[in-house]
Amino acid sequence: MPTLGSTSIVIVAVIAAIAVVALVFAVALRRQVLEAPEGTTAMQAIAQAVQEGASAYLNRMFRTLVLFAAIVFGLLFLLPGDSGIRIGRSIFFLVGAGFSASIGYLGMWLAVRANVRVAAAAREADGRTEGARIAFRTGGVVGMGVVGLGLLGATGVVLLYREQAPSVLEGFGFGAALLAMFMRVGGGIFTKAADVGADLVGKVEHNIPEDDPRNAATIADNVGDNVGDCAGMAADLFESYAVTLVAALILGKVAYGEQGLVFPLIVAGIGAVTAALGVVLTRVRGQESGLAAIYRGFYTAAVIGAVLTALAAFVYLPSSFAGLSGLSADLADHTGDPRLVATLAVVIGVLLAGIILWLTGYFTGTTSNPTIHVARTTLTGPATVVLSGIGVGFESAVYTAGIIAAAICGVFLISGGSITLSLFLIALAGCGLLTTVGVIVAMDTFGPVSDNAQGIAEMSGDVDARGAQTLTDLDAVGNTTKAITKGIAIATAVLAATALFGSYTDAVQAAVSSIAGAAQSTGLALAMLSYQVISPITLVGVVLGAATVFLFSGLAIDAVTRAAGAIVFEVRRQFRDHPGILTGDERPEYGKVVDICTRDSLRELATPGLLAAFAPIAVGFGLGVGPLAGFLAGAIAAGVLMAVFLANSGGAWDNAKKIVEDGRFGGKNSDSHAAAVIGDTVGDPFKDTAGPAINPLIKVMNLVALLIAPAVVHVSVGDSANHTVRLVIATTAMLIAFGAVVLSRVRAAIVDRKGQLEREVA
């Protein structure tokens, strides 16, 4: 086992210092955002209501998740291994979960204070430039927080545990991924239930504007933008960052030894520097599009990151594989240059990010042909809008998946065919993609901040026509940037999951080699170890993995459907029982809608989480490590296609509505507009609930598989095999996973029946 030398320890300590500097920079950006004017009294009152609702929701959600985290913390102690590693893994599980929750809360807290400042900026002559600056700097705070905490956690583990760090980092990545998935699902249900309910009753039934203060769901809609898009996406990108680093460090130690454990941290440290540069350099010049300024900042950061990484590789790494410390046995005769292959892997990751950015922008942008096509179909009604959006989503998923597959093939080619090296290089490509993570997070937060600003302006009535158009333009840019960051997050998830897949294989091989009698195992035991897809039992695992993605997506969309239905009935009730609301003589009961969203989203939170955590356990202990590998492969393949399809369909529908609202194809209050609203409503849970939640889902399942792999091997093969224990664990896990699904359905039926009785009484 390679040990860390004094030079490596110094380098890791310097990277930890860079992480601290990144956090200090985030504090400085936060101060700049909060120094901007807060606008009129009416604006501040609306913003205060949004702040209170968002904080109340996240506080209640975190209280709900504390028990879940405590249970997982205890279960991690039961896994086999050295006691010190088990303790460290469990502790850093809580650290990862805490960092993920902190990033989510930070994203929400600042966004609900920046939105009113962007709305206020729109009232000024330079409102477009200043509003874009505030919105992007808000995202910059969160982006630097992601980089700082992610690096701090990873370097902290390496400094404390040295060469044993990868085993402890599994817990850190698992905690980050698990919390991110819960925040993604819960926030997604909240935001889309409010959004769908507000649109269906307000726009379609009463023909009033999107953010009209007479609509009782408007405050909940604005709250949802922050707990879903800001808190959820910030946590999602943090766990992508953390999990990619975890996979790179695990595989790096196997492939490159000591240098492989340190080099990914160097790449991440460079990413912190380029993220700061990207945030500082992104500013709107004159009358240029906000999207053009964001693209310029992203590509500038990407190029600088690639150049600095190449320099670091040629300075730190040796010129031949023979010069690596703790070299993997199958790389002993490799004739390549480890500096060059590492640099090329990082460059492939950077290029992948740039191509995904362009491709997603093409399929969802307001000026691109696919979105204009969807907008044009509004002339023939809602059905054709829905069909055209689905078509765009399916097509874009193929191209995106093909590009990601090409990147993986490219990495495999530069590895010279070595599986060990190619898996490490895939993880490095993920690190390269994430050298721009600070800018990526800033791009994502830009969307909900500008959307909220537009809502505050409309509800307050304190922004003139010019300012309203400025906010509309910023909101359209935000829709595109949100779609782009979802595409990049999906690409990151696939690279991280592929790398974790390699880590899983390494863990299985290590466990098999340590078990007495494993070589003499025959029949079923050996079939459970087989990775051959031609094996029927492994193919069953592939099918189950893909099916889990579909079930997870269905649960998320169905949860939004039920919650949105409750919002629709509540808003209708208020209009019916209080006629003065529509005339402006009565104030809607905003708090009731916020409470419904909070209650329903938290009620639906546990089911998808239990499915993600226990499905791999059921497959692993029930069928074996080979079928579990098939399960992971099926989940990755189906997950990338499903996530891109859902995200890009939703993004195209959303911006098609913007095109119609800008006056094309009939404009506002036309039949085309009503059709566009229906399309956007269908797309809401696609792009903001189910689609983004697939990213942490596949990483959670991969990490669960990685953690349980040694235990599965111990109870499945060799002299220590105990099939009774194995089947008991598998059956229990299956009952928990699918029992949660059944209970969700029963609970939904009870809620639906209760709602029907209440309506009949009314």
The answer to whether residue 744 scores a pLDDT higher than 50 is yes
Residues 488-528 pLDDT 10s: 777 877 887 777 777 777 777 766 666 655 544 444 554 55
Q: Residue 327: is its pLDDT beyond 70? A: no
Find out whether 283 and 129 touch, Cβ atoms under 8 Å.
Answer: yes
Find out whether 290 and 466 touch, Cβ atoms under 8 Å: no
What token pair was written down for 722? 């105990």
Q: Is 83 exposed, middle or buried (0-12, 13-18, 19+ CB in 10 A)?
A: exposed
pLDDT band at 373; cut points 50, 70, 90: very high
Tokens encoding 15: 């990277």
User: How far is it, in rounded angstroms, from Cα 202 to Cα 258?
Assistant: 60
Placement of tokens 């930070």 in the chain: 106
Asked whether residue 340 is assigned to any structural domain, the reply reads yes
d(CA 62, CA 256): 40
Mean pLDDT, rounded, of the chain = 81
> Would you say residue 656 lies in a domain?
yes
Phi, psi of 62 (to 5 degrees): -65, -35
pLDDT tens digits for 706-721?
888 888 887 776 666 6
Across 696-720, b (16+ Cβ under 10 Å) vs e yields bbbbbbbbbbbbbbbbbbbbbbbee
| pLDDT per position as a tens digit, 194-237 | 888 777 777 777 777 767 778 888 878 777 777 777 777 778 77
- The confidence score (pLDDT) of residue 344 equals 92
SS3 5: coil
Report how far residue 323's alpha carbon sits from residue 338's, in angstroms, rounded to the nearest whole number.
9
The 3-state secondary structure of 487-543 reads HHHHHHHHHHHHHHHHHHHHHHHHHHHCCCCCCCCCCHHHHHHCCCCCCHHHHHHHH
Which two tokens mark 554?
């269905």
Q: What residues contact residue 117 under an 8 Å CB cut-off, 6+ apart?
A: 33, 36, 37, 38, 39, 134
Per-residue pLDDT at 366 exceeds 70: yes
- Give the number of other CB atoms < 10 A from CB of residue 64: 15
Over range 657-678, report the average pLDDT. 85
C-alpha dihedral sign at 415, 419, 420, 424: positive
pLDDT surpassing 80 at residue 639: yes
- The pLDDT of residue 187 is 80
pLDDT at 363 over 90: no
3-state secondary structure 413-430: HHCCCCHHHHHHHHHHHH
Least confident of 47-61, 312-326, 424-438, 469-483: 469-483
Q: What confidence category does residue 531 fall into, taking pLDDT thresholds of 50, 70 and 90?
A: low
Angle at 703 between CA 700 and CA 709, to 5 degrees: 135
pLDDT reported for residue 377: 93
- Asked if pLDDT for residue 322 goes beyond 80, the answer is no
The candidate with the shortest Cα–Cα distance to 275, out of 298, 291, 306, is 298
Is 619 a residue whose pLDDT tops 60?
yes
Which candidate, 183, 61, 189, places its Cα nearest to that of 558? Answer: 189
pLDDT at 559: 83
Instruction: Spell out the alpha helix ranges (H) of 282-337.
Output: 290-316
In a domain, 36, yes or no: yes
Residue 1 placed within a domain: no
- Kindly compute the dihedral angle of the four CA atoms of residues 235, 237, 243, 247, in this order, to the nearest 10 degrees: 180
Give the CA diameter of the chain.
82
Q: How far apart are CA 382 and CA 349, in angstroms?
A: 39
Inside any domain, residue 538: yes
Predicted confidence band of residue 545 (pLDDT cuts 50, 70, 90): very high
Note the Cα 529 to chain centre separation in Å: 32
Does some domain include residue 411? Answer: yes
Most confident of 313-322, 414-423, 625-634: 625-634
pLDDT in tens, 275-291: 888 878 777 666 666 67
For the segment 93-126, what is each residue's pLDDT rounded down to a tens digit?
Answer: 899 889 988 888 888 888 888 888 888 888 887 7
pLDDT at residue 386 in the model: 92
Tell me the HSE value of 440 on the side-chain side, using a 13 A CA sphere.
34
Q: What would the pLDDT profile of 293-304 be if each residue is shown by its tens digit?
A: 777 878 888 888
Rounded-to-10 torsion of CA 260, 261, 267, 270? -140
Distance, CA of 253 to CA of 328 (rounded, Å): 9
Distances (CA, A) of 741 to 543, 581, 621, 628, 685: 19, 39, 20, 21, 19
Q: Give per-residue pLDDT as tens, 727-743.
A: 898 899 899 888 878 87
pLDDT tier at 1 (50, 70, 90 boundaries)?
very low
Give strand ranges (E) for 539-682: none
390 has a pLDDT exceeding 60: yes
Confidence band of 422 (pLDDT split at 50, 70, 90): confident
Query: Tens digits of per-residue pLDDT, 558-609?
Result: 888 888 888 888 888 888 888 888 887 888 887 788 888 887 777 777 788 7
* Domain of residue 365, residue span: 6-511+520-761
Would the pLDDT of 424 be above 90? no
How is residue 627 written in tokens?
């079928």
pLDDT confidence bin for 695, thresholds 50/70/90: confident
Count structural domains, the chain: 1
Domain assignment present for 22:
yes
| Inside any domain, residue 595 | yes
